[in-house]
């Protein structure tokens, strides 16, 4: 099962590259820099999904003290942090030629950086507490609090004045982009979602083996 998921992820990445660089046309206004969107947007969606998994698993762990739920939350939080870091990095690469700066402290960028720092703190917290069970409880609480900030990131472009454009798809009236660009975006989302699922599964398995060795 794990191997099959890995192969599907690899095939998805190949299909995403073909769609993003071979099928989707060059955007008239932004040029080729617009192609970063095929990584930037799917990355943040996958990060949101991973944090949602960590949120649910954290609640499950606090309710039942089930070790598998804690391992799932830990793995999903790590993968979500990775993909959110990719989101921030690709956004900065896109922002330099588009806005003329790598970074600006507008509402969207500030709120997403706060969430990123919170999940980095989540991962650091696990390593700072000597008692694994107590560390898992503390991390679960922080994972729940951090996930509650994600709606703030999404709606920040509507609530405050910001350089960042509104969401590409999740907006009133639906997507307005050309179908071929939308298709490339969705293919890359599916590919990165498969990569994220593979990473979570692999990391959760490693965490289980680490627990078995310690026991």
Question: What tokens appear for 125 in the block?
Answer: 């917290």
Note down pLDDT in tens along the chain; length 215 residues: 788 999 999 999 999 999 998 898 887 778 888 899 999 999 999 999 999 999 999 999 999 889 999 999 999 999 999 999 999 999 999 888 888 888 888 888 888 999 999 999 999 998 888 888 888 999 999 999 999 999 888 787 777 777 666 666 655 555 567 889 889 999 999 999 999 999 999 999 999 998 888 77
Burial-class residue 101 by CB neighbours within 10 Å (0-12, 13-18, 19+).
exposed
Cα distance between residue 94 and residue 83, in whole Å: 16
pTM of the model: 0.91
Nearest Cα to Cα of residue 150 among 55, 215, 21: 55
How many of the other CB atoms lie within 10 Å of CB of 36? 20
For residues 33 and 97, is the Cβ–Cβ distance under 8 A? Answer: yes
């Amino acid at each position: 099962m794990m191997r099959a998921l890995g192969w599907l992820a690899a095939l998805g990445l190949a299909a995403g590259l073909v769609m993003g660089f071979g099928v989707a046309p060059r955007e008239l206004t932004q040029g080729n820099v617009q192609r970063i969107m095929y990584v930037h947007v799917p990355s943040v969606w996958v990060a949101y999904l991973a944090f949602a998994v960590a949120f649910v698993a954290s609640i499950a762990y606090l309710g039942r003290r089930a070790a598998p739920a804690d391992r799932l939350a830990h793995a999903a939080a790590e993968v979500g942090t990775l993909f959110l870091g990719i989101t921030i990095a690709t956004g900065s690469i896109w922002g330099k030629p588009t806005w003329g700066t790598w970074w600006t402290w507008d509402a969207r960028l500030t709120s997403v950086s706060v969430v990123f720092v919170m999940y980095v703190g989540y991962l650091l917290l696990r390593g700072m507490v000597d008692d694994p069970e107590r560390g898992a409880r503390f991390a679960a609480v922080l994972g729940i609090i951090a996930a509650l900030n994600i709606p703030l990131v999404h709606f920040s472009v509507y609530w405050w004045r910001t350089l960042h454009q509104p969401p590409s798809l999740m907006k009133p009236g639906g997507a307005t982009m050309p179908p071929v660009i939308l298709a490339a975006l969705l293919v890359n989302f599916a590919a990165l979602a498969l990569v994220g699922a593979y990473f979570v599964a692999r990391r959760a398995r490693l965490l289980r083996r680490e627990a078995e060795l310690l026991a």
